[in-house]
Chain A
């Protein structure tokens, strides 16, 4: 038992565990909406865009998180605006804007020495997090949870059926903006943990596990949040013993759980549906 609890004796590990659990839960929460809106590619693209923003801010002497957040919000707005004009598709808009901003970041680190900062952004450095990082992720997670709690019904309606939600008095423009802000905040404050290369996985895998295990929205949300938190905890804990990069271990833990959920879901779906006396269609 002492061996199992050994890493908790270190302050850096306790910080790492807290921030990883909160990051996993936060990604699971916002990722549910990302996945159900078929926006997984936006999560992937935005994480690359904020890298460019952080690199630009670093060079300008501004706090990198501020640069990352501003660029994240601007990129969300540009993607939304371009895709609404229907001249090019949303996927192409994401590809152009986020890859362009990522390329800016790559160009900056090629000409300016950012030290270990660029590696931390790209691949995550959960073992280097400070108590300030924990507080920042905790505040973002709490604020996001409150927004989802208060706007739960509108978020669900606008995600499932935006046309009818609009007719029914839900402002889908505001809901989309709210979601973009939460997504940009989430990616910004969690990129230190798993890195921009892997953050999209944490936005996608926990909700997909939830989807595999339930047909109910609210249960999917809970499963996704819990799975994200478990992956954060398990990944950082395993990384201590395996001496693997923490971000990659968190994502590998999530991938392993996905395989388990997929097998369980496949076995369950082989059972015939209960007879409900439905029409054949």
Chain B
């Protein structure tokens, strides 16, 4: 459902983009009802970019993805995007109706909803869908109901659907939420492989340590952009406090920032069974 706000300035879609640029948001503001969700967002996504968007619940992460995808129109600012740029969108698996009667192949072939008008898919379409499924490790599962798959396989079905659109830009909304560590690794390896194949990727995540700190670049969002940079540049106590509104401690481990959540009221002092990070040292805000 397109959630549109009455536009003070409609987004412009044109080709006035820098070389290598896929999409550019300029001073974008969105709101649902009276509540602003995004404020003055400036963001550029180029070919081969791999961007993670982090922020608390309600910070506008999903709205940002939908604005990039074009299903949410800003009330102010502009989205500059060439019509030839194809976008693949992978929703949060929590939003999927797992009891909908649909097989894996039927779900993937939805990507061809704008194709030919015949209800049944052509042999070429089925072959193409099976090739994508095979590539994503879902070969032979086309006739399965989507509920019969494991968590990682379910996530990959929707990546496959997005891939069948042959996108230049892949948007993933919380691709690892609600999955176990092993599945998270599988999904992240898959996304990294797709990035290495030349796909630009923007994903949202709540997982600062497991996902965000492993990405090339991050956007810290809390209705407005708080910081943009590499994980080492933005995963800092001052930035995180402004983003999440709560003090968070940051250590480094193996050269990577590690966010530590502390609950002074709950943590027992001197807990012996807590093993400190051996290489850890406190990262001081710049």
Q: Which of A153, A162, A172, A217 has the most CB of B within 10 A?
A: A153
Q: Which of A180-223 contact B (CB under 8 A)?
A: 210-211, 214-220
Contact of B113 among A156, A218, A219, A281 (CB under 8 A): A156
Are A281's CB and B110's CB within 8 A?
A: no
* Residue of A with least CB distance to B182: A279
Are B110's CB and A166's CB within 8 A?
A: no
Q: How far is A169 from B87 in the complex, measured between Cα atoms in Å? A: 10
* Residue of A with least CB distance to B87: A167
Point out the residues of chain B lying under 8 angstroms from A169, CB to CB.
113-114
Question: Per-residue 0/1 for B37-76: is the Cβ within 8 Å of any A Cβ (1 yes, 0 no)?
Answer: 0000000000000000000000000000010011100000
* Residue of A with least CB distance to B112: A153
A273 within 8 A of B: yes
* Residue of A with least CB distance to B154: A281
Binds A, one of B93-101, B214-222, B262-270: B93-101
A91 within 8 A of B: no
Point out the residues of chain B lying under 8 angstroms from A210, CB to CB.
101
Min CB distance B107 to A, Å, is: 8
Min CB distance B137 to A, Å, is: 11
Point out the residues of chain B lying under 8 angstroms from A161, CB to CB.
91, 96, 110
Min CB distance A250 to B, Å, is: 24
Q: How far is A280 from B149 in the complex, measured between Cα atoms in Å? A: 9
B141 within 8 A of A: yes
Q: Which of A173, A214, A276 has the most CB of B within 10 A?
A: A276
Are B110's CB and A86's CB within 8 A?
A: no
Contact of B66 among A149, A160, A163, A171 (CB under 8 A): A163
Q: How far is A171 from B117 in the complex, measured between Cα atoms in Å? A: 15
Are B182's CB and A214's CB within 8 A?
A: no
Point out the residues of chain A lying under 8 angstroms from B151, CB to CB.
279, 281
Contact of A216 with B103 at beta-carbon distance under 8 Å, contacts A163-B71, A163-B95, A164-B89 already known = yes
Contact of A153 with B1 at beta-carbon distance under 8 Å, contacts A214-B101, A279-B152 already known = no
Are A220's CB and B71's CB within 8 A?
A: no
Min CB distance B176 to A, Å, is: 14
Are B102's CB and A166's CB within 8 A?
A: no
Are A165's CB and B113's CB within 8 A?
A: yes
Are A276's CB and B144's CB within 8 A?
A: yes
Are B148's CB and A276's CB within 8 A?
A: yes
Q: Which of B123-145 contact A (CB under 8 A)?
A: 141, 144-145
Point out the residues of chain B lying under 8 angstroms from A281, CB to CB.
150-151, 180, 183
Q: How far is A168 from B96 in the complex, measured between Cα atoms in Å? A: 16
Contact of A156 with B33 at beta-carbon distance under 8 Å, contacts A167-B70, A215-B145, A279-B152 already known = no
Q: List 13 A-B contacts (CB under 8 A).
A: A149-B119, A153-B112, A153-B115, A153-B119, A157-B110, A160-B110, A163-B66, A166-B2, A167-B70, A168-B111, A169-B113, A214-B101, A217-B106
B interface residues (Cβ-Cβ under 8 A, vs A): 1-2, 33, 66, 69-71, 87, 89, 91, 95-97, 100-103, 106-107, 110-115, 117-120, 141, 144-145, 147-153, 161, 165, 180, 182-183
**Could you list 15 further interchain pairs (A-B, Cβ under 8 angstroms) beyond the known A164-B110, A215-B145, A216-B145?**
A36-B101, A154-B114, A163-B95, A166-B71, A167-B87, A168-B110, A173-B2, A215-B103, A216-B102, A218-B119, A276-B148, A278-B153, A279-B150, A281-B150, A281-B151
Closest A-B pairs by Cβ, 5 of them: A152-B119, A279-B150, A215-B145, A167-B69, A153-B113
